[in-house]
Amino acid sequence: MDNIIKVGMADLRSSRHPCRLTTLGLGSCVGIALYDPGRKVVGLAHIMLPSSQQARNNSNIAKFADTATYKLVEDMVSLGAVKSHIVAKLAGGAQMFSFNDTSEMLRIGARNVTASKEILKQLNIPILAEDTGGNYGRTIEIDSASGKLLIKTIGHGTEVI
């Protein structure tokens, strides 16, 4: 069942069981992992920016927390997921550089996390677990069998949420 589907930066994918969806090296970006445990449909988005509303160029819907989440839910429903059964896990949103500076660019990770949570709340999707913030990158992988999210780092251990 080693059906591993890679999700790139500003990209989203969904699939039926059995499969694992993975995205490598999340930094300030956020991985939004969705799962319908009953139908075993999974979805994963690797978003870069909080909102399509503030963007000058918003043609790539997978780039933004809002449009990517809506699209991911839609795709999962078309694969047989029941919208009201979908649950979420979040990872990423790190601040990779410390800089003594409160500029918008460096806080983008936190803003991506906040925006992702807001969208999930609007869609009534509960967040079961998250591993966000910090100053390090993460590779994540969601398993369609269990909905478990594996998180790997360099120097900050491995965990399953």
Partner 1 sequence: MVKGVDDLNSLHLDVLREIGNIGAGNAVTALAKLLNRKVDMDVPMVKIFKFNELSETFGGAELPVVGILLKVSGDLTGYIMYILERDAASTLVNMLMGRPLYEMSEFSEMDISALKEIGNILTGSYLSALSGLTNLKIVSSFPDLAIDMAGAILSVPAIEFGKVGDTVLYIETQFVEGEKKVVGDFFLVPDYDTYDILMKALGVIG
Site for partner 1 in 79-138 (CB under 8 A): 94, 96-99, 101, 103, 105, 108, 135-138
Report the distance separating Cα 18 and Cα 1, nearest Å: 6
Our finding on whether 4 is near partner 1 (CB under 8 A) is no
Q: By rule CB under 8 A, what count of residues binds partner 1?
A: 33
Tokens for 61, please give them. 């819907």
SS3 category, 23: strand
Q: Position of tokens 């790139």? A: 8
Distance of alpha carbon 125 from its chain centroid, rounded?
Answer: 13
Is residue 21 within 8 Å of residue 131, measured between CB atoms? no
Is residue 28 within 8 Å of residue 112, measured between CB atoms? yes
- Residue among 85, 66, 95 at smallest CA distance from 128: 85
Minimum CB distance to partner 1, residue 34 (Å): 19
Tokens for 154, please give them. 């360099």
Q: Contact with partner 1 (CB under 8 A): which of 5, 25, 77, 150?
A: 25
Q: Identify whether 29 is a catalytic site residue.
A: yes
Minimum CB distance to partner 1, residue 124 (Å): 28
Site for partner 1 in 30-69 (CB under 8 A): 48-49, 55-57, 59-60, 63
Q: Contact with partner 1 (CB under 8 A): which of 10, 77, 110, 123?
A: 10
Minimum CB distance to partner 1, residue 83 (Å): 27
DSSP symbol at 49: B
Residue tagged active-site, from 21, 29, 47, 108: 29
> Known catalytic residues?
29
Residues making contact with partner 1 (CB under 8 A): 8-11, 24-29, 48-49, 55-57, 59-60, 63, 94, 96-99, 101, 103, 105, 108, 135-139, 154
